[in-house]
Amino acid sequence: MDLMKLQKERKRISELSEKDDGKSVTIYGWLYDLRDLGKLRFVLIRDVSGEIQVTGFKDKTDKKVYEVMGKTNRESAVVIKGKVKKSDKAPGGREIIPESFEVLAEADDPLPLDVSDFSKTELPKRIDYRFLDLHRRKVQAIFKIQGTLLQAFREYMIDSGGTEGVFPSIISSSSEGGTELYPLKYFEKNAFLSQSCQLYKQMVACSMEKAFAVFTVWRAEKHNTVRHLNESRQYDFEMAFADEFVVMDELAKVVRYMVSEVLKKNEEELNLLEVKLKVPKTKYLTFAEVEKLMKKEKVGMGKHDLSGEAEKKLGELFPDMIVFVHDWPLAGKPFYIMPKPGKKGEELSAGFDAIYRGMEITSGGQRVHIPELLEERLKANGLKPKDFKSYIDSFRYGAPPHAGWGMGVERLTMTILGLQNIREAVLFPRDRERLTP
Ligand code: ATP
Ligand code: MG
């Protein structure tokens, strides 16, 4: 088949309209369903944009075409040429009366998993066969929406003067002082896979004011939860001449923009997934206020951290709001977060978390940009300043106060769509057990 010619002729299913009624068109896609009534054959064809019924008549349709319609396996890739006809009975109000029906790739039968709209196949098996799982409209809807979110993030950031950073993923030492890194051999040296672009985005922001990235991170945590991956992506942001309140405001603005773009562009997908979505408002609470609130609600807290239940509770108390929890205890934040004395002498920090729909989506804060203070904070966290020499030195030459955050790409998709497992929000997940596909 001449595929250049096919691409020129082909109509996307969703674009078929009144204007095409009575005309001959070429569509392609996958055979989703067949109903054989003997004298009539109904075949449902899907492309990424939509679906349409192809109707064959035993006494009118070309004999060969009618035969192929009846014997092609589900999910086979097909090209169909035929007349568009308005029809009250066909789903979507139009059907195609086929003139030719060509099978480009026949799917084996049986399929290794049920890909119908009502499929109950469990997630691990679906991911084993992700290429086929991606034939499902609901699965496609998730990744179409994630695509909108990614584009909207970039749009907002570029329009507000940000520079996109493309950062290295191989690093020589830990950026956060944690131990949860994947080691790798780098010629004669030992290296690691990056767990964040923290230091790099700071350096860019300290020269170019606003830096952003969509960055892949690797965390060798042995947990196996519904909200963690070992390889995940982050929306990263860093801004100079800013404290935590400036960047919380930026976070609220970008998330609001991202959600409003989804509402504008993905109405069909949201309906399909039965997701009710509103552009979120914001709520600001200090960590101490949250502690008080949770005491009242009889919900436990973590050590210098929110517990999972506390996050969930905040989601219930403040629905459709981004809840910023700030003035975080210093002991609960990494060394690079700026300390800040509390009113009663407590050791607080300029760090924050953002909770949305009952889950942490973001951590961030103002960074320590003063070399002496950074050395002190490293030591307080049991780390050696000499291991961080080049990082510390990068703040000796006109580094302004700055702040930023990191927001999980998959985590945000998960919370926005109310998915029960983060693996639904990543095409090819990497977790404790999974390294393929
Ligand atoms: P959590 O407390 O939920 O484990 P964290 O505080 O360890 O997350 P951060 O280092 O603050 O994570 O990362 C910033 C954001 O990246 C998080 O708010 C979350 O949205 C996302 N994120 C962090 N770790 C993971 C992970 N293992 N898998 C998926 N997303 C993650
Ligand atoms: Mg965090």
pLDDT tens digit sequence for 123-157 = 999 999 999 999 999 999 999 999 999 999 999 99
pLDDT at 175: 59
pLDDT at 117: 87
- pLDDT surpassing 70 at residue 176: no
In the set 228, 256, 430, 434, the catalytic residue is 228
Cβ atoms < 10 Å from Cβ of 298: 8
Summarize the confidence of residues 251-267 as an average pLDDT: 98
What are the residue ranges of helices labelled H in 175-331?
198-208, 244-265, 267-272, 287-297, 308-317
In the set 95, 238, 360, 424, the catalytic residue is 360
Distances (CA, A) of 33 to 55, 72, 294: 12, 10, 51
The DSSP 8-state label assigned to residue 242 in this structure reads -
Whether 221 is catalytic is: yes
% of the chain surpassing 90 pLDDT:
94
- Looking at the domain 3-105, which fold is it? OB fold (Dihydrolipoamide Acetyltransferase, E2P) (2.40.50)
Give me ligand 1 centre to Cα 408, in Å. 6
pLDDT, tens digit, for every residue of 280-302? 999 999 999 999 999 999 999 99
CB of 364 within 6 A of ligand 1: the answer is no
Whether 228 is catalytic is: yes
Confidence of residue 423 (pLDDT cuts 50, 70, 90): very high
Choice from 196, 214, 360 to test ligand 1 binding pocket (greatest atom count within 8 A of CB) = 360
pLDDT at 178: 59
Are 78 and 72 a contacting pair, CB within 8 Å?
A: yes
Summarize the confidence of residues 40-57 as an average pLDDT: 97
pLDDT at 387: 87
Domain layout of the chain by residue ranges: 3-105, 137-425
Summarize the confidence of residues 339-345 as an average pLDDT: 90
- pLDDT surpassing 90 at residue 233: yes
Summarize the confidence of residues 400-414 as an average pLDDT: 98
Choice from 201, 226, 232, 333 to test ligand 1 binding pocket (greatest atom count within 8 A of CB) = 232
CA distance 77 to 75: 6
In the set 221, 268, 309, 376, the catalytic residue is 221
Are 211 and 205 a contacting pair, CB within 8 Å?
A: yes
Whether 360 is catalytic is: yes
pTM to 2 decimal places: 0.96
Give me ligand 2 centre to Cα 214, in Å. 17
Summarize the confidence of residues 158-170 as an average pLDDT: 97
pLDDT, tens digit, for every residue of 184-232? 999 999 999 999 999 899 999 999 999 999 999 999 998 889 999 999 9
CB of 233 within 6 A of ligand 1: the answer is no
Going by their DSSP bridges, the two strands 321-326 and 210-218 should be labelled as unpaired
Going by their DSSP bridges, the two strands 359-366 and 351-356 should be labelled as antiparallel
pLDDT at 172: 87
CB of 408 within 6 A of ligand 1: the answer is yes
pLDDT at 261: 98
In the set 309, 363, 430, 432, the catalytic residue is 363
Confidence of residue 67 (pLDDT cuts 50, 70, 90): very high
Phi, psi of 414 (to 5 degrees): -60, -50
Dihedral of CA atoms 132, 136, 140, 141 in degrees, nearest 10, equals: -160
CA distance 211 to 164: 6
Summarize the confidence of residues 72-78 as an average pLDDT: 98
Confidence of residue 177 (pLDDT cuts 50, 70, 90): low
CB of 82 within 6 A of ligand 1: the answer is no
CB of 362 within 6 A of ligand 1: the answer is yes
- pLDDT surpassing 70 at residue 61: yes
CA distance 431 to 100: 46
pLDDT at 345: 85
Choice from 195, 411, 430 to test ligand 1 binding pocket (greatest atom count within 8 A of CB) = 411
CB of 410 within 6 A of ligand 1: the answer is yes
Please determine, looking at this structure, whether the domain spanning 137-425 carries the CATH number 3.20.20.70: no
